[in-house]
Amino acid sequence: MLVPAGIAFGFGESDLSGFLYSFAISIIIGLPIWFFTRKGYSVTNKDGFAIVTFAWIITGIVGALPFYLSGAIPNITDAFFESMSGVTTTGATIIG
C-alpha cells in the first residue's frame, strides 16, 4: 500500500488517505498474526487448507479497503468484488 500511496502523493491525488489507512489497517492486522505464529509449527493438511482459505479472504478484504475508504466504490461488497477480481485477474469489474 505504500507504493500506490507514494504515487498518489506524487501526483496530488485525493485517494492518498485511502491507501494510508489501508496500510495502517494491514499492519495492525498483520503484525499480531506474524508475532504469534513466528515459531515453527508442523502444519497438517487441514491447517494448510484453513491458512489458504483465510489468506484469500483477507487478501480480498485488504485489497478492498482503498476502494472503500477513498470513496471510489461506496459499497463494501462491490469493493470486495473488485478487489478479488483484480487478485484473481478475471477481468470482471463493476467500475463502468
- Domain residue limits, the chain: 2-88
> Collapsing DSSP states into helix, strand and coil, what is residue 13?
coil
Report residue 30 as a C-alpha cell.
498483520
pLDDT at 15: 84
pTM of the model: 0.80
Q: Which residues in the chain show pLDDT less than 50?
A: none
Report how far residue 91's alpha carbon sits from residue 65's, in angstroms, rounded to the nearest whole number. Answer: 19
Mean pLDDT for the chain overall? 92
